[in-house]
Amino acid sequence: MSANRTEQIHSYCIHCAALCGIVAYVKDGYLVKVEGDPNSDNNAGTLCPKGLSAKQEIYHPGRLKYPMKRTRPKGDADPGWQHISWDEALNTMAARMSEIKALYGPESFFFQKGSTGGSSGSEWYRFFGRLSSLYGSPNHGGTGHICCYSRSCPGLPLHFGNKGLHPSIDYEKTNFILLVGYNILHTEPPLARKILDAQQRGAKLVVIDPVLAPTAAKADIWLAPRPGTDLALFLAMHHVIIHEGLVDADFLKYWTNAPFLVRDDNGLFVSSDGNPYLVWNAKERAPQPANPWFPSHVEPALNGSYSVNGISCRPAWQLFTDMVEACSPEWAEKMTWVEAEDIRRVARLYANTKPASTDWYNGLHKSSNGYYTAVALALLSVVTGNWDVPGGLSFESDPTFKDVKGSQHLPEGWINNSLVAAAGFKARAYNKEYVGPMNLVADAILTGKPYPIKGMLALASGMGTSNPNSKKMMDALKQLDFLVMGDIWETPAMAMADIILPCATHWESEFVNYNPPYLMHRRPIVEPQHEAWPDLKIIFELAKRLGFGKEFWDGDIKKAFNTMLEPFKVTVDDLDASPPGVRYAPPPQPYRRYAATDEKSGKPKGVATPTGKLELYSEKLKTLGYDPLPAWREPEPGPVSTPDLFREFPLILSSGFKPMHWLHGQLRAVPWLRECDKEPSVWINRRTAQKLGIPEGERVMVETPKRDGTIQGNVVLKAVLTEAVHPQVIYIPYGWWQGCDSLALEGYGSLDGSANVNNLYDDSFTDPVSGTIGMVSYPCRVRKE
Ligand code: SF4
């Protein structure tokens, strides 16, 4: 950067998925300010508080400044951190990792990264995955178990065949937006403009959220179910849609497995003469092969009961309708606290408005019934013909960058040797998903079963506060033979680390990405402060020392970017030659992908599910030992499923939505942001607070039980009295651990007496399909401190 003049650097913020284009003003290598780039399609010149605070984040005096190693035993109040060089840090890491691999096998080393929604992990995770694959460990996880499993991971591939693709709404075309547990106006602020514009032209916004979050406050209709009972709400909506004839029957017949005949005796599909699936042809009153696709003389029956070769059977749709028959709005009112008439109103509005879209996020995942809840919600789009159509529930295009994750380097049969397979999460193993649930890792460390986990490299991961049952996680980290943690700040979990690494902020690092309308090389807008390194550089340098130099482009990150850019036929040099980047127009969003024609056969390709169709009924789940249909099940824990716990702990603890100024557990040290929200709090309904004698602003203790009724943990918070939560529900914002020196606000730690809501959960309540931990409907009690 040239001296004595202010340079304008085009880049983008990657603190959230919105990827806002920015212009950084840099003088003599110093960041003066950041502005939204008016030419960016994503944000059109706007930035949220996190982006605008870049300068305070970069130059914060409390950042980790250099690599350090502990000199005192774990458990000492003072780890005796000693400044070491990057060479010493990386050489030690490579030596200890090789030793652990030789002694216990590669699976005994865990690669942990924090949320891809924070820092630049959503970019560098590809190379982190490559490193773990080359090392040979099938145990590589993030935060999906408390974030997005039921949005993209286990639910959608099996039923709908689109692994890893996120819902994507075309807000200009949709006439109905159903958002569930997704405070999108704050978590992806540039989308707020699109949603409010859609409302202005007449689209309806319906928000389902137990808390009156900012997005719910803008809704045309807000439904506030009892936390964890969204599944009952969706089943009742299906009930109304079926009863009132609002189903798109043609779509069900031809693009889903709704007409496939299911045996009454074992729940598997009826097969015959080499045909794996049969339907009942209503025109000829006879069975007919369903595979590959129906000729025109077939009219597949959706309802009824039949006999095929002496086997009694029914179409999958009949089983689905039988299941939801009991789920009337009146039944759901008892389960959810939402009035039956409101459920009817929303179901009718949704089914009668075309196109109607839906999207969901964190709020739906932290529940022991999250898997089936997401499936039932997604099926609303299927049964009404809103699936993968413009303005309906569509999905992102396949990523265009060349895949560099290197999963081909994993040893043969790796999934069978993973913790996820050993723990019995068969659907996840079938989908070949990395381990994910961090409680499995903590259990393996503490018990040595199914095999010991001895070492861990964790980047951008505040494990001491970001995982349920923080106490257990901290105990587990303490037991590791070798733990390295890299981050921007010293987090509570680092008290258990052997080496800590100072990471660069994303503003000080580089990557290549599509930031409409540009393909962009995000160069550092300033050099990393102190001795910080970008995560990517750490990964590449460690890879070389572990002997993977060749597979890591001999440490040349630019060459790695050029590999990623190959599909676009441009290089990093091309991107740099025309700042802010090269204009790129992606192919138009594909729709109706289920109907795309296979060039060879001339027939529809279908979707990547076991049956090739969208699946209302999953035979694969059935054979794996799970329910093939998204039938109602209470969340665990909960006032109905664990009434004994609720006798002593009568309130329902819910935690979830984050406001615009926070990025999960990060950034609370940044004063401009901390001024928005100075103190951790608990939201209590005014009537409940009055009964408990708790005035506004009082410091209160929230306590929760373990599964056996003994105390799990407590937190101490400021009471905020509100009408935004139900009288039986309290709400605790998550992510609080850090202080803010410039506002004289001290940090809180992560265990009892802290402000860390994750200290309150026993992690043994899990969704049997996905492994997601039951956190939305947790028993608790509140008292004055
Ligand atoms: S954090 Fe804010 S500025 Fe950054 S990408 Fe997201 S919305 Fe844009």
Q: What is the pLDDT of residues 619-666, one digit of tens each?
A: 999 999 999 999 999 999 999 999 999 999 999 999 877 788 998 888
Same domain, residue pair 500 and 619:
no
pLDDT of residue 364 exceeding 90, the answer is no
**Mean of pLDDT values over 731-748:** 95
Domain of residue 434 covers: 82-150+400-583
Sequence-separated (6 or more) residues with CB below 8 Å from residue 169: 177, 357, 359, 391, 393, 394
Nearest ligand 1 atom to alpha carbon 47:
3
Same domain, residue pair 324 and 375:
yes
For the sheet with 221-223, list strands across it: 221-223, 204-208, 176-180, 356-360
Same domain, residue pair 287 and 386:
yes
Select the more confidently predicted residue: 140 or 104.
Answer: 104
Query: Hey, which of 42, 50, 185 would you mutate to test ligand 1's pocket, going by the most ligand atoms within 8 Å of its Cβ?
Result: 50
Q: Do the domain assignments include residue 365?
A: yes
CA of 266 to the centre of ligand 1 (A): 51
Q: Do the domain assignments include residue 40?
A: no
pLDDT of residue 164 exceeding 70, the answer is no
Q: Do the domain assignments include residue 600?
A: no
Query: Hey, which of 15, 122, 507 would you mutate to test ligand 1's pocket, going by the most ligand atoms within 8 Å of its Cβ?
Result: 15
Nearest ligand 1 atom to alpha carbon 51:
3
CA distance 544 to 554: 7
The residue contributing the CA closest to ligand 1 atom 8 is 20
Structure tokens at 687: 């009537």
Q: How high is the pLDDT of residue 1? A: 46
pLDDT of residue 670 exceeding 50, the answer is yes
CA of 172 to the centre of ligand 1 (A): 21
pLDDT of residue 539 exceeding 90, the answer is yes
Q: How high is the pLDDT of residue 17? A: 83
Q: How high is the pLDDT of residue 29? A: 95
Length of the chain: 785
Q: What percent of the chain has pLDDT over 90?
A: 76
The CATH number that applies at residue 255 is 3.40.228.10
Rg (CA), the chain: 26
Query: Hey, which of 47, 185, 191, 676 would you mutate to test ligand 1's pocket, going by the most ligand atoms within 8 Å of its Cβ?
Result: 47
The CATH number that applies at residue 472 is 3.40.50.740
Sequence-separated (6 or more) residues with CB below 8 Å from residue 452: 104, 108, 444, 445
The CB of 19 under 6 Å from ligand 1? The reply is: yes
Q: How high is the pLDDT of residue 693? A: 97
CA distances from 653 to 231, 390, 492 (A): 19, 38, 24
CA of 529 to the centre of ligand 1 (A): 22
pLDDT of residue 399 exceeding 70, the answer is no
Same domain, residue pair 563 and 488:
yes
Nearest ligand 1 atom to alpha carbon 52:
3
Query: Hey, which of 42, 43, 184, 658 would you mutate to test ligand 1's pocket, going by the most ligand atoms within 8 Å of its Cβ?
Result: 43
Same domain, residue pair 473 and 432:
yes
Confidence of residue 18 (pLDDT cuts 50, 70, 90): confident
The CB of 15 under 6 Å from ligand 1? The reply is: yes
Contact 84, 49 (CB under 8 A): no
Least confident of 170-174, 450-454, 593-597, 611-615: 593-597
Least confident of 109-123, 225-239, 687-701, 717-731: 109-123
CA distance 104 to 98: 10
CA of 584 to the centre of ligand 1 (A): 22
**Mean of pLDDT values over 149-177:** 79
pLDDT of residue 474 exceeding 60, the answer is yes
Sequence-separated (6 or more) residues with CB below 8 Å from residue 611: 257, 260, 269, 277, 619
**Mean of pLDDT values over 569-575:** 96
Q: Do the domain assignments include residue 319?
A: yes
3-state SS of 211-241 is CCCHHHHCCCEEECCCCCCHHHHHHHHHHHH
Closest CA to 314 of 248, 256, 268: 268
CA distance 17 to 664: 13
Q: Which of 566, 593, 623 is the last residue of a domain?
A: 623
Q: Do the domain assignments include residue 404?
A: yes
Quickly list DSSP for 445-479: HHH--SS---EEEEES--HHHHSSSHHHHHHHHHH
**Mean of pLDDT values over 716-726:** 97
Task: For 236-254, write each residue's pLDDT tens digit.
Answer: 999 999 999 999 999 999 9
The model's pTM is 0.95
Number of domains in the chain: 3
Q: Do the domain assignments include residue 282?
A: yes
The CATH number that applies at residue 732 is 2.40.40.20
The residue contributing the CA closest to ligand 1 atom 2 is 48
Closest CA to 387 of 607, 193, 542, 662: 607
Query: Hey, which of 12, 16, 23 would you mutate to test ligand 1's pocket, going by the most ligand atoms within 8 Å of its Cβ?
Result: 16
CA distance 451 to 444: 6
Same domain, residue pair 346 and 411:
no
Same domain, residue pair 242 and 380:
yes
Q: Is 219 exposed, middle or buried (0-12, 13-18, 19+ CB in 10 A)?
A: buried
Q: Do the domain assignments include residue 560?
A: yes
Same domain, residue pair 103 and 187:
no
The CB of 50 under 6 Å from ligand 1? The reply is: yes
Select the more confidently predicted residue: 293 or 709.
Answer: 709
CA distance 535 to 502: 9
Confidence of residue 32 (pLDDT cuts 50, 70, 90): very high
Same domain, residue pair 331 and 292:
yes
What is the residue-averaged pLDDT of the chain?
A: 93
Nearest ligand 1 atom to alpha carbon 15:
1
What is the distance, to the nearest Å, from the Cα of residue 162 to the centroid of all Cα atoms in its chain? Answer: 15
pLDDT of residue 158 exceeding 90, the answer is no
Contact 623, 289 (CB under 8 A): no
Q: How high is the pLDDT of residue 4? A: 63
Nearest ligand 1 atom to alpha carbon 190:
7
Residue 677 identity (one-letter amino acid): D
Same domain, residue pair 564 and 459:
yes
Q: Do the domain assignments include residue 24?
A: no
CA of 190 to the centre of ligand 1 (A): 8
pLDDT of residue 165 exceeding 80, the answer is no
Same domain, residue pair 441 and 411:
yes
Sequence-separated (6 or more) residues with CB below 8 Å from residue 304: 280, 314, 315, 318
Q: How high is the pLDDT of residue 298? A: 84
Same domain, residue pair 384 and 405:
no
CA distance 233 to 333: 8
Half-sphere exposure of 194 toward its Cβ, with a 13 Å CA cutoff?
22
CA distance 677 to 680: 8
